[in-house]
Structure 1
Amino acid sequence: MTTASEISPAARAPQTPASRWPVMLTTEGWPDYALIDSGHGRKLERYGPYRIVRPEAQALWTPRLSAEEWDRADAIFTGAKDEDSDGRWKYRKPLGETWPMAWPLPRAVGEGEVRFLGRFTAFRHVGFFPEQEMHWAWFGRKIRDAKYADPKRQPKVLNLFGYTGIASFVAAMAGAQVTHVDASKKAIGWARDNQTMSGIADLPVRWIVDDAMKFVQREVRRGSKYDGIILDPPKFGRGPNGEVWDIFERLPEMMALCRQLLADDALFLCLSAYSIRASFMAIHETSAEALSGLPGTLESGELLIREEGEGRTLSTSLFSRWSRDG
Structure 2
Amino acid sequence: MLLLADKWKDYELIDTGDGEKLERWGKYILRRPDPQIIWPLHKEWSLWKNPHGHYHRSSKGGGQWEYKKDMPEKWTIKYKDLSFYIKPTGFKHTGLFPEQAANWDWIIEKIKKANRPIKVLNLFAYTGGATVAAAYGGAEEVCHVDAAKGMVTWAKENLELSGLKHKRVRFIVDDVFKFVQREIRRGRKYDAIIMDPPSYGRGPGGEVWKIEDKLYDFIELCMNVLSDEPLFFLINSYTSGFSPIVLENILNSSIGKKYKGKIYSGEIGIPITKTGLVLPCGILGRWESLK
> Normalising to structure 1: TM-score of the pair?
0.84
For residue 295 of structure 1, report the CA deviation from its aligned partner.
1.0
Is 1:89 matched up with 2:57? no
Is 1:258 matched up with 2:222? yes
1:173 to 133, 136, 141: 136
- Cα distance, 1:44–1:81 mapped onto 2, change above 3 Å: farther
Q: Please say if residues 236 and 247 of structure 1, whose CA atoms lie closer than 8 Å, have aligned partners that are also in contact.
A: yes
Aligned to 1:98: 74
Residue aligned with 1:319, SS: strand
1:297 to 257, 262, 266: 262
The residue correspondences of 1:121-200 to structure 2 (distance < 5 A) are 121-147=89-115, 153-176=116-139, 177-200=141-164
CA distance in 2 between counterparts of 1:202 and 1:86 reads 38
| Amino acid aligned to 2:283 | L
CA RMSD in angstroms comes to 1.7
Q: Please say if residues 28 and 71 of structure 2, whose CA atoms lie closer than 8 Å, have aligned partners that are also in contact.
A: no
1:234 to 198, 203, 209: 198
Q: Which has the higher contact order (CA 8 A, sep 6+)?
A: 1
| Amino acid aligned to 2:178 | K
Aligned to 2:10: 32
- Cα distance, 1:118–1:202 mapped onto 2, change above 3 Å: same
For residue 221 of structure 1, report the CA deviation from its aligned partner.
2.6
- Cα distance, 1:181–1:81 mapped onto 2, change above 3 Å: farther
Q: Where does structure 1 lack aligned partners over 5 or more consecutive residues? A: 1-22, 105-112, 148-152
> Normalising to structure 2: TM-score of the pair?
0.94
Q: Please say if residues 15 and 274 of structure 2, whose CA atoms lie closer than 8 Å, have aligned partners that are also in contact.
A: no
Deviates more, 1:27-36 or 1:183-192: 27-36
For residue 64 of structure 1, report the CA deviation from its aligned partner.
4.9
- Cα distance, 1:239–1:273 mapped onto 2, change above 3 Å: same
Residue aligned with 2:75, SS: strand
CA distance in 2 between counterparts of 1:154 and 1:66 reads 52
For residue 205 of structure 1, report the CA deviation from its aligned partner.
0.6
Aligned to 1:11: none
Residue aligned with 1:254, SS: helix
CA distance in 2 between counterparts of 1:193 and 1:44 reads 27
Q: Please say if residues 80 and 86 of structure 1, whose CA atoms lie closer than 8 Å, have aligned partners that are also in contact.
A: yes
Give the total of aligned pairs.
289
CA distance in 2 between counterparts of 1:278 and 1:117 reads 30
Q: Please say if residues 144 and 171 of structure 2, whose CA atoms lie closer than 8 Å, have aligned partners that are also in contact.
A: yes
| Amino acid aligned to 2:89 | T
| Amino acid aligned to 1:276 | S
